[in-house]
A and B are shown apart, each in its own frame.
Chain A
Amino acid sequence: MATAAIEANGLVKRYGDVTAVAGIDLTVAAHSIYALVGPNGAGKTTTLNMLTTLTPPTAGRVRVAGYDVQRQARHVRRCIGVTFQDIVLDRDLTGRQVLDIHGKLYRMSRQERKRRIAELVELVQLEEALDRRVKTYSGGMKRRLELARGLLSNPQVLFLDEPTQGLDPQNRVGIWNYMRNLNREHGLTLLLTTHYMEEAEMLAHTVGIIDQGLLVVEGKPADLVATLGANVIRVNGQGDRRHFIQQLGILPFVERVQFDEQDSLVQVYVDNGNRRLVEIVQAASGNGFRVEEIAVAQPGLSDVFLRYTGHALRD
C-alpha cells in the first residue's frame, strides 16, 4: 500500500466548553517525517493523543497505518511506537528491564527481544548504562531509552511528542540524527510535535503549523519559506509606525509587511534585501519614523509562523 501512514479528517476534541482541537485535516505520507509545530496549548498533544488511540475524538475520523483508530484500536497500537512529552519511565527498573517488559507487552519472543534490545541500545548508545536503574540516568539518557523503547516493537509509525524538550544542544543533535537515520535507512514514518522551529526545519519533510486547535498551514519547509519573499528586512524604531507601514505597502518591491506587537518589530519582505535597505530607510525618514535598528535576514520557519498566526512562536 502506497497510501498515507496517517490520515485524519475533521478531527475535533472538546473538553466540556473548551475546544482543544477545532477540526484538523492531516495527511502524513508513508516514510516521511512530519512535524506539527505550534506553541504550548495549541492542541498538539491532544492531536497526538487522538492519533495514538489514547483519547477518542469528539468528531472526525483517523486512520493510522491503514486502520481506523477507534474501531481497530488494537491493530493501530500494534503498528505504532510512541514517546510522550514528559519522561514516563519506571525509575526503579533497569534500562534492560524497561525494554524487556515493553517487548513482552508486544508479545515479542525472548530471542527477538534480546536481538532488538542489543541493536537499539547500540543505536542510542546506552550499552554501558543498560543494567543500571533508570533513576541514575541523566535527562538525555532517559530520552534515549524512551526512544529505544518506542522503536523496540518495530513500529511502522513513530509518534514523538516534543522529543528534545529540555535537552542540551548536544543531546538534541544526537536525537535528530537518530530520527533522520531511522527514516532514511528503515523507511520509518515519524510524526513529531515541537515548539522549536529549528527542529522542524532540520528534520521534517512536511511541516504543519497548528495554532488554537487549527492547522493553519501545511507544506514543505522550503516552500513555506519561499512564499514569504527572498529576504526580510527587520526594522525597529520610533515614530508613527502605522503610517510608516502604510507607506511601505505602496513601494513596488515590497511583497508584504508584518508587524509583531510583542517585539515592536516591523518585518518587510522584499525581493532583494541588500539592494532595498537604503530605500526602506529613506521611506522611513520621509514619513517621520526614526529607524533605530535595521537588519537584512533570510526568512525562516519562524517567519512563516508569524505570517500565518499573527504572533511569534516563543519557547
Chain B
Amino acid sequence: MYATYVIWSKHMTKFFHSTEEALGLALQSVLWVVLFGVGMRGIVTQVEGGDYLTFILPGIIALSALAGSVGGGMMLLDERLRGITREYLVSPIPRLSILLGNAASTSTKALLQALLMLVIGMLMGVRLTGNPLGWLVALLLVALFTLGFSGLALAVASVSRSIMGYHGMIFLLNLPVLFASNALYPLDVLPPWMRTLVLFNPTTYLIDAVRSLAFGAQPALVLANSVAILFVFATIGMWLALSAFHRSIRS
C-alpha cells in the first residue's frame, strides 16, 4: 500500500508541476459546464421537474472522469513504451501498486474536477441537497467509478503496442458509455431495448446515484444496488488491469 501511495504522489507531483495539465483540466471543467449547460438550457428547459443543468451535471462529471481514465491509461502506456515501468518492476513493490497508484491519481484528479464542476454549477444556479453526507457519498462513488474505468483503460494500455492502437481500442469503449446511459436523457423516456442496454452500463448507476445523493432527485434505481454495482465494477476493472499487466510483463 505504501508503494501505491508513493506512485500516487509521484503522479500528483508531476500533475502540479505541469501547469498546462492542471490548468487544462480546470478549464475543461469550466467549459464543459458553461458551454454544455448554457447551450442545452436553450433547447431543454426542464427535465423531470428540474433544471436541465442540474440534470446533466452528473453526466458531465462522469464524462470527465472517463476522459481522466483514458488519460491515466495513456500515462501507463507512455511509461511502458519509454521503459519507465522497468524501474518499478525491478524494485521490491507489488505489481498491483503500480496500477493502483496510477488509478488513484486519476481518481484524485477526477474528484478535483468534480468539485470544480459542482462549484461552477452552483454559480449557475444548480441547487445541491442540504445533506453534506450525500455529497460525500456521491464523490466517493465518482472515485469508485473512476477506479473501474481506469482499470479498463490500464488493461488496454498494458497490452497496446502503440499510442494509436490504444486510442483505437479506447474509442470503441468511450462512445457507448456516454450515449448508452442516462447521462443525457432520463431512463423512462427510453425504449425498452435501449433501457436494457443502458442498465449494463455502470455509468447509469453512478449518474442515478449522484443525482439522488447530491441533487435530491428521485432515484430511478435502488441506491444500495447502485453502490454495490459500482464497487464490483471498480474491483473488476482493477482485476482486469492487473491480469493484463501481468500478461504483458511475463513475456
Contacts and interface: CB of A to CB of B under 8 A. Distances in A.
B17 A92 contact: yes
B187 interface: no
Contacts of A78: 92
9 interchain residue pairs of minimum CB distance:
A77-B92, A104-B6, A88-B83, A105-B91, A78-B92, A82-B90, A88-B84, A101-B10, A74-B92
B13 A97 contact: yes
Interface in B82-97: 82-84, 86-93
Nearest to B13: A97
B19 to A, nearest CB: 11
A105 B1 CA distance: 11
Size bin of chain A's contact surface? 20 to 34
A82 B84 CA distance: 12
Given A53-B90, A54-B89, A92-B14, 8 more contacts: A54-B249, A84-B83, A84-B86, A89-B84, A92-B18, A101-B9, A104-B2, A104-B6
Interface in B221-251: 249-251
B248 to A, nearest CB: 12
A88 B10 CA distance: 15
Contacts of B10: 90, 93, 97, 101
A90 B90 contact: no
Most buried by A among B10, B86, B89, B92: B92
Contacts of A106: 91-92
The B interface is mostly helix, strand or loop, or mixed, namely helix
Given A92-B18, A93-B13, A105 B3 contact: yes
Contacts of B2: 104, 107
A102 B7 CA distance: 10
Interface of A: 15, 52-56, 74-75, 77-78, 80, 82, 84, 86, 88-90, 92-93, 97, 101-102, 104-107, 149
A97 B18 CA distance: 14
Contacts of A54: 86, 89-90, 249
7 contacts: A52-B90, A54-B249, A56-B250, A77-B92, A82-B90, A88-B86, A93-B17
A55 B249 CA distance: 7
A155 B83 CA distance: 21
Contacts of B82: 88
Contacts of B86: 54, 82, 84, 88
Given A93-B17, A104-B6, A88 B92 contact: no
Contacts of A56: 250
B14 A105 contact: no
A97 B12 CA distance: 12
A90 B6 contact: no
A181 B83 CA distance: 29
